[in-house]
Amino acid sequence: MAAAAASLGASRAYATPVARGAAIRSRTRAARKIIPGRRSANGLRVDAVAADAPSAIDDDAAMFKGKVKKSGKLSICVFGASGDLAKKKVYPAIFSLFYDGHLPDDFVVFGYARSNMSNDEFKDRIRSSLPCRISAAKDCDVKVEKFLTRCFYTAGQYDDPEDYKSLDVAMAEQEQALWGDKKTLRLFYLSIPPSIFVPVAQNAARHVSSKSGETRVIVEKPFGRDLESSRALTEALAQDLAEEHTYRIDHYLGKELIENLTVLRFSNIVFQPLWSRTYIRNVQINFSENFGTEGRGGYFDNYGIVRDVIQNHLLQILALFAMEEPASLDAEDIRDEKVKVIRSIRPIDMDNVVLGQYKGKRDGDGVLPGYLDDDTVPPGSRCPTFAAMALFIDNARWDGVPFLIKAGKALHKRQAEIRVQFHHSPGNLYKKQLGNREENSNELVFRIQPDEGIYLNINSKIPGLGMRLDQTDLDLQYKTKYSGGALPDAYERLILDVVQGDKRLFIRNDELEAAWKLFTPMLDRIEEDEIAPELYPYGSRGPIGAHYLASRWNVRWGDTME
Ligand SMILES: NC(=O)C1=CN([C@@H]2O[C@H](COP(=O)(O)OP(=O)(O)OC[C@H]3O[C@@H](n4cnc5c(N)ncnc54)[C@H](OP(=O)(O)O)[C@@H]3O)[C@@H](O)[C@H]2O)C=CC1
Ligand SMILES: O=C1O[C@H](COP(=O)(O)O)[C@@H](O)[C@H](O)[C@H]1O
């Protein structure tokens, strides 16, 4: 099947390069098969690549390799390379792109941070986090070592121009040694706390920019902590970075299900008439994690759950879910529609907001620590680790439909999903069999993670001579439909887009402005009124107040019923 699918890419005309790329990527993934239990030498899960997969992978690599090679030589510098995100996400994503052949042959990766480390110490630090989504027979460890020969580390201060000049010299030396005086794309990843974005972006732009090619800067969320600081950040960055070279990353936009949301909406006519208040009763966007802040209190306590995931990840999901169809798949057309719908969201009513903070809980012989037990959290902090809110979009399509958003740390499971609950079937012909109308209404669920999938809950007749009905699912499970292929991480998709110059999945400054305009008044109220969060036990389903909020709008949280 994979071989047949591989030829598909060659024969079928695709509407756009993006569509062709998506088709090739999904065929490539379809060709990969997980062999449960296999692990590579560095202890990461491996899978076998089906014998006929190389053609699909070659297609994929060739398509991207060709485009990337046209962009010249590539130098990446990760600022904050000693940190959590760099180790957990950024370096693994760059390695995966290298491994799958999406980077040019001529690339080099520099790490920059204050921590004093030798090159070898730095390589030892990141080696264990590099993933191998392939069979050991593919010499993954060889590829890891080859990748590490292109990795270098420079220690320096974030506010000392001389240290940036030294970094520039080090980068130039490696570029010269590897590919001579060729046009080079320099890509900076600011994997640092927002509090130092400006000095790093300005110094990097002034002292480390590419002398021969473009310079692009990836800026991490949450892009400031309120409207004023976000504007100041945008203005400060704009002094040295053109908007076109500034890539505000929200990695949720690179997740498979989020990319698929617009494909499902706009390429399947069956969903289009349903996508409005006429058929949809409420929309729920749920984000839960089954772990706490675990030492990230220095950052988290200054931001809280609303700034950490709701003002960015969940709002982006809401925008893509609720926006009108864009004029094209062009980045600006998509982002135009997202801004419009964010601007249509009604100012947040504090009566529609519930805040929580996780507290310690006995767990067998041990104790699950509360937020305030985290050494990096200031004593007595009221910082919310949970928030639930009801938002309303005041436009013709969504007037009166509650969008219930919920996000929390240290809950009972790790999951992110969109749940669309439809009105009941009018007349309720099968009321005798189905009973309560609301509970038997259809529900469409996008399972963002884990176990990526899309399923539609329907009423159906149970086979047999009688007329018994039950609720069942029309179910697209990625791990079965796409033969269990390991999905690329969101950061792979997004870093590759920066290399390709594709801004479709990145946040534009007016989107950011609209997002902070929406959330800043609420965030200010929380701090001015010193609103205390409702405590909830670590590992629970969150504060009870969230259920009262949902019932106020005649809604039951779908994720708590599973
Ligand atoms: N971690 C995650 O899961 C995610 C993080 N992000 C975002 O990515 C960015 C980086 O996050 P993360 O890696 O977790 O951050 P870290 O707290 O790990 O900081 C990264 C590096 O920055 C330096 N640093 C930390 N605090 C300060 C400070 N106060 N002043 C100067 N330098 C400091 C440290 O390097 P050194 O001391 O060596 O200079 C540290 O290793 C943040 O903007 C965050 O919002 C986004 C999504 C997920
Ligand atoms: O941006 C962030 O996202 C992560 C969750 O990302 P995921 O891809 O693992 O769902 C979150 O843990 C972190 O607090 C936040 O900064």
Confidence at residue 33, expressed as pLDDT on a 0 to 100 scale = 40
Residue 412 appears among annotated catalytic residues: no
Q: Which atom, in ligand 2's list, is nearest to the CA of 490?
A: 8
DSSP annotation of 533 reads P
Lining residues, ligand 1, CB within 6 Å: 80, 82-86, 113-115, 158, 191-196, 220-222, 296, 299
**What ipTM was assigned to the predicted interfaces of this complex?**
0.97
Ligand nearest to the CA of 255: 2
The Cα angle at residue 259 between residues 53 and 322, in degrees rounded to 5:
160
Q: State the CATH class of domain 256-487+509-560.
A: alpha beta
Q: Which atom, in ligand 1's list, is nearest to the CA of 222?
A: 45
Neighbours of 476 (CB within 10 A): 17
Ligand nearest to the CA of 249: 1
In three-state secondary structure terms, 281 is strand
pLDDT per residue as tens digits for the range 168-200? 999 999 999 999 999 999 999 999 988 899 999
Residues of the chain with pLDDT > 90, as a percent, come to 74
Mean pLDDT on 438-442: 82
Residues 6 or more apart whose CB falls under 8 angstroms from that of 402 comprise 282, 283, 390, 391, 392, 553, 555
pLDDT per residue as tens digits for the range 453-507? 999 999 999 999 999 999 999 999 998 888 756 788 999 999 999 999 999 999 9
> Which residue CA neighbors atom 36 of ligand 1 most closely?
114
Confidence at residue 128, expressed as pLDDT on a 0 to 100 scale = 86
**Which residue in 102, 245, 251, 313 is the catalytic one?**
313
Q: Quick check: 21 pLDDT over 60? A: no
Inter-helix orientation angle 2-11/53-70, to 10°: 40
Confidence at residue 261, expressed as pLDDT on a 0 to 100 scale = 96
In three-state secondary structure terms, 524 is helix
Confidence at residue 485, expressed as pLDDT on a 0 to 100 scale = 62
CA–centroid distance, 193 to ligand 1, in Å, is: 5
Q: Quick check: 70 pLDDT over 70? A: no
Q: State the CATH class of domain 73-220.
A: alpha beta
Domain ranges across the chain: 73-220, 256-487+509-560
Q: Quick check: 346 pLDDT over 50? A: yes
pLDDT per residue as tens digits for the range 216-269? 999 998 888 999 999 998 998 899 999 999 999 999 999 999 999 999 999 999
Structure tokens that stand for 439 in this block: 């509970």
Q: Which atom, in ligand 2's list, is nearest to the CA of 287?
A: 10
Inter-helix orientation angle 509-528/331-343, to 10°: 30
Average pLDDT along the chain: 87
By mean pLDDT, which of 300-309, 334-343, 379-388, 432-441 is the weakest? 432-441
pLDDT band at 16 (very low <50, low <70, confident <90, very high): low
Confidence at residue 9, expressed as pLDDT on a 0 to 100 scale = 34
CA–centroid distance, 251 to ligand 2, in Å, is: 9
CA–centroid distance, 230 to ligand 2, in Å, is: 20
By mean pLDDT, which of 76-85, 115-124, 208-217, 438-447 is the weakest? 438-447
Residues 71 and 186: beta-carbon distance below 8 Å:
no
Q: Whole-prediction pTM value? A: 0.86
